[in-house]
Structure 1
Amino acid sequence: MPINFDRVADDYDASRYLPEDAAQRIAAFLCQAASLDMHSLVLDAASGTGHFALPLALHGVQVVGVDISERMLAKLRSKMASTSLPIRLLRSDLTSLGLVHQAFDVVLMAHILHLIPNWQQALREAFRVLKPNGVLLLVWRQGGRSPIHHHYHELLRGRFEIPKHQGAHSSEVAQWLQKQGRTVEILDTQHLHWQWQAPIAQTVDFLQKRVWSRLWRVPDEVHDSVMKELRAWVLANYGSLDGFEVLEGSIMVQKVS
């Protein structure tokens, strides 16, 4: 089954932080890469809370946002409440969209295929709803894991091995697409990076609540033991929970035609 982020919708934006200026730069880049304008119709597949749908709509693009999580879509609706942005939202499974055949100029799939067991079917659906000359944009978020987050996994080692993601990562996806006769171009995104300060207390809280889906599989007793040791490590290395970590993020974009 696809992963549903209902349980972490309240913490999603803060735990996958994307500064507004970075989001706008990424949207402008995607518009240029796919030659989007006010007449273009984009499907934001797994739109979540709108990290990409909102800035694309601000650039005048017509967006249909699809997600399996009703609570994530509710967060996006609340952001849209005071705007007239051209975004329509639909709750749907990416492997069975229920959308019109060949309707979209672009399908955007941002950091989602690694979470979908039947990711090949999700891609088939994307191509089904694309116009004959449409473009598929695959965005993969990179970086952003803090030293505290990393140390959680170090403490976990030897106690529990988290299963690999149910879906696929960029290289495996690219290989599959090329076997289908598709052209996969990796775009130059070196300029699309960002930096932010993450509160230490917030990172510890997010780990405690397991807002990252890979941690959902860790048994409760193992998780509780690791968190106890992690808190002691944080206090020993940072002195308190009151400080900040400086984190960096970036994206990789595959343009598929």
Structure 2
Amino acid sequence: MTLNFVRIAYAYDRTRYHPPEVSGKIATAIVAPVEERFSDPVFLELGVGTGRVGVPIVARGYRFVGVDVSPSMLEVMRYKIAGVGRKVKLVEADARELPFERGSFHAVIGVHIWHLFDDWQRALLEAFRVLTPGGFLFEGWDMTAAENEDWRIQEKWREFLGEEGYELKRGRHQQRLAEVRKALEQLGLNPVEEVVAEWVEERTPRQSLEILSERLYSFTWGIPEDIFKSSLEKLWEWARDTYSDLDQAHAIPWRFVLRSTRLPE
């Protein structure tokens, strides 16, 4: 299965966004503790994507470096920061092999990234390597309650995939976050988690279906194309029979969790 990362980049940016007030709260939660301890800090974001976390930091005038393996994602972000990106550097690179000197950054940010690597330990060690003593590691993720229409649609799709002989495995992201936390604690560090923003998204069944169709979630990437196509056809048919209006929005409550870990001086 070959993914069209140009298409995915623009679709991701269109659908996986934070409202402006939420983006502001997340940026403040990240930059405030760093600014208290360092003068003219430099931020690095791993898997920067299209910049939904990075752009608000850039807009505040901080020095910022973003890395991603997808040139398409970086191109979308580059377009978004045109005119305000004087202190920004975007680099096509793997988080497990960063092209930066030891102690180059005062803060490293990783949002929804650890579950993308089987060997996530390499990325974590690289983050530590490029952090200055006393620097911060910030991990962030979106969370929502399971009881909503979007989740119901995904679970119905899981049933159709099962009928096709494919077992859709979920929960890797949360499992990986727990593994990383354990690793941090074993190193004698003190990761602290905090809900820094809450909001409600209005999403229609059609949008939920389109997000799955675009393969925007990483758990969709490994599904063989024939099974993916046939199961989605069943899902669309089920949705048309289930919802009187595919464009009637439903509410999804979200929270953004930030885990902060400060290295020793």
TM-score after normalising by structure 1? 0.88
Equivalent position amino acid for 2:70 in 1: S
Contact 2:158 2:167 in 1 (8 A): no
Partner-residue secondary structure (3-state), 1:126: helix
* Worse overlay, 158-167 or 117-126: 158-167
- CA pair 56-99 structure 1, distance change in 2 beyond 3 A: same
CA contact (8 A) 1:58 1:85 kept: no
Q: Which piece of structure 1 moves more, 94-103 or 17-26?
A: 17-26
Correspondence 1:240 to 2:241: no
**Deviation sequence 1:46-66 (CA, Å, 0-9, x none):** 111001111112233211111
Question: Using the alignment, how far apart are the partners of 2:217 and 2:133 within structure 1?
Answer: 36
Once the two structures are superposed, residues 71-111 of structure 1 have per-residue CA deviations (whole angstroms, 9 ceiling, x without a partner) of 00000001112334532111110010010210111111111
Q: How far 1:117 moved relative to its partner? A: 1.5
Percent identical pairs in the alignment equals: 28
Query: What's the counterpart of residue 24 of structure 2?
Result: 24
Q: Secondary structure of 2:84's match?
A: coil
Inter-partner Cα distance in structure 1 for 2:69 and 2:105: 19
RMSD, aligned CA? 2.5
Matched, 1:88 2:99: no
Greater Cα offset, 163-172 or 237-246: 163-172
Q: Are 1:177 and 2:178 matched, yes or no? A: no
| Counterpart code for 2:217 | W
Q: How does 1:1-257 map to 2 (within 5 A)?
A: 8-35=8-35, 39-84=40-85, 86-143=87-144, 146=150, 147-157=152-162, 159-163=165-169, 165=172, 169-186=176-193, 188-189=194-195, 192-257=197-262
How many correspondences in the alignment? 253
Unaligned runs of 5+ in 1: none
- Which has the higher mean CA deviation after the structures are superposed, 117-126 or 8-17? 8-17
TM-score (norm 2): 0.86
How far off is 1:132 after superposition?
0.9
Cα deviation for residue 237 of structure 1 reads: 2.2
Deviations 1:21-61 (A, max 9, x none): 21111111222243467711110111110011111122332
Report if the CA contact (8 A) 2:141-2:257 is conserved.
Answer: yes
Compared with structure 1, are the counterparts of its residues 144 and 239 closer, same or farther at alpha carbon in structure 2 (3 Å cutoff)? same
| CA distance, structure 2, for counterparts of residue 171 and residue 150 of structure 1 | 23
Greater mean deviation of Cα atoms: 30-39 or 232-241: 30-39
> In structure 2, do the counterparts of structure 1 residues 234 and 248 end up closer, same or farther at CA, with 3 Å as the change threshold?
same
SS at match of 1:60: coil
> Relative to 1, partners in 2 of residues 1:153 and 1:15: Cα closer, same or farther, differing over 3 Å?
farther
Q: Which amino acid aligns with 1:105?
A: H
* 2:180 partner letter: V
Query: How far did 1:129 drift?
Result: 0.5
Contact 1:117 1:167 in 2 (8 A): no
Q: Distance in 1 between matches of 2:43 and 2:257?
A: 19
